[in-house]
Amino acid sequence: MTIGIGIIGVGMISNFHAKAIADSQNGKLVGCFNRNFARAQEFAAKHGCRAFETLDEMLADPEIQTVSICTPSGAHLEPAIAAAQAGKHVMVEKPLEVTVEKCDQIIAACKAAGVKLGVTFQSRFHESSRLMKQAVDDGRFGKITLGDTYVKWYRSQEYYDSGAWRGTWELDGGGALMNQAVHSVDLLLWLMGPVKRVSAMMGTMTHERIEVEDTVVANIEFENGAFGVIEATTTTFPGALKRVEIGGSEGSAVLEEEDLTQWTFEKETDEDDAIRQRMAGKTETGGGAADPAAIGHHGHTAVFNDFLNAIASGDQPQIDGSEGRRSIELICAIYESARSGKTVSL
């Protein structure tokens, strides 16, 4: 069963979606739409699909059963709802949207239309991330006391100047946290569970002509009783791989992009040494730390395979709308805390 896919928005990330679809098990890129038709034509020529002049025209094409939304973060709502109402399944590049209210509208529209909704949090599909999740589920950390993530990346002023939507609350939804660190926030919530309350500070330290933060620090308390820290910035030259750390009474692990740089437990298993060797040096790119295009598309391929399998089988995709919403709820709470100077409960 081949499932036809149309891409909405042909910015940088759409190329990774096109490559992932080409490598997927049963997806086929049929078409694309962009408000600038000339750019859509360039993309279509590059990836071997059809450029549509209007979104309505693309959504009316019976060859397209699914859309992949690659518009700016704060412009996901309208095409997602239009696609759902046209009976198309909806895959959305992260974040799902930039407010909880908009996320809920997309979720409701897809539910009402009876179509699948997925979000591209591809870091969850990396083997190292899954090993960490399994260790949490198996109780190998003992009582978990700390869960932290650090995204110390670098973006030049030219990066923010390259698109009028970048660095705006309306279309970027936020800065270092919403745009760059959202993958790590999603991973942390997946590993640690829900957050009870948060206290945060943020500022714009080195960039000009942007509305949003380029540096943010948050202290969090999880519902499981553990504490944590989230740090995100686009100011630290030359940029480092994103890091997730979990520590508890019986073990600790550190994930840097796809590498497990620490994997230590009080009760060692026969597999642990092999895991340490296999998961060292796994990251083959810069992980987006300094160059947003310096990522691989294998994670996106895994996301698409899961989503297309869910369409074929009738199951839910692993990262559905409710999963995609979780990180946005926390990020918005962090922004609220930083603005008000008060602790915010979720």
Name all domains of the chain by residue range, CATH numbers in brackets. Answer: 3-123+297-319 (3.40.50.720), 126-290+328-345 (3.30.360.10)
pLDDT at 287: 76
pLDDT at 289: 83
Reported confidence tier of residue 85, pLDDT bands at 50, 70, 90:
very high
- Amino acid letter for position 78: E
Place of tokens 């298993």: 269
Express each pLDDT in 4-57 by its tens digit: 999 999 999 999 999 999 999 999 999 999 999 999 999 999 999 999 999 999
Three-state SS string across the chain, please?
CCEEEEEECCCHHHHHHHHHHHHCCCEEEEEEECCCHHHHHHHHHHHCCEEECCHHHHHCCCCCCEEEECCCHHHCHHHHHHHHHCCCEEEEECCCCCCHHHHHHHHHHHHHHCCCEEEECHHHHCHHHHHHHHHHHCCCCCCEEEEEEEEECECCHHHHHCCCCCCCCCCCCCCHHHHHCHHHHHHHHHHHCCEEEEEEEEECCCCCCCCCCCEEEEEEEECCCCEEEEEEECECCCCCCCEEEEEECCEEEEEECCEEEEEEECCCCCCHHHHHHHCCCCCCCCCCCCCCCCCCCHHHHHHHHHHHHHHHHCCCCCCCHHHHHHHHHHHHHHHHHHHHCCCEEC
- Amino acid letter for position 227: F
Express each pLDDT in 58-77 by its tens digit: 999 999 999 999 999 999 99
Q: Rounded distance, CA 218 to CA 264, Å? A: 26
Smallest CA-to-CA distance from 94 within 336, 328, 331 is with 328
- Amino acid letter for position 80: A
pTM for this one?
0.96
* CB-based contacts of 140, cutoff 8 Å, min separation 6: 250, 251, 265, 267
pLDDT at 172: 94
Q: Rounded distance, CA 243 to CA 255, Å? A: 6
Q: Say yes or no to pLDDT of 229 above 80.
A: yes
Sign, CA dihedral 304-121-13-73, equals positive
pLDDT at 284: 78
Express each pLDDT in 86-134 by its tens digit: 999 999 999 999 999 999 999 999 999 999 999 999 999 999 999 999 9
Reported confidence tier of residue 310, pLDDT bands at 50, 70, 90:
very high
Q: Rounded distance, CA 148 to CA 228, Å? A: 5
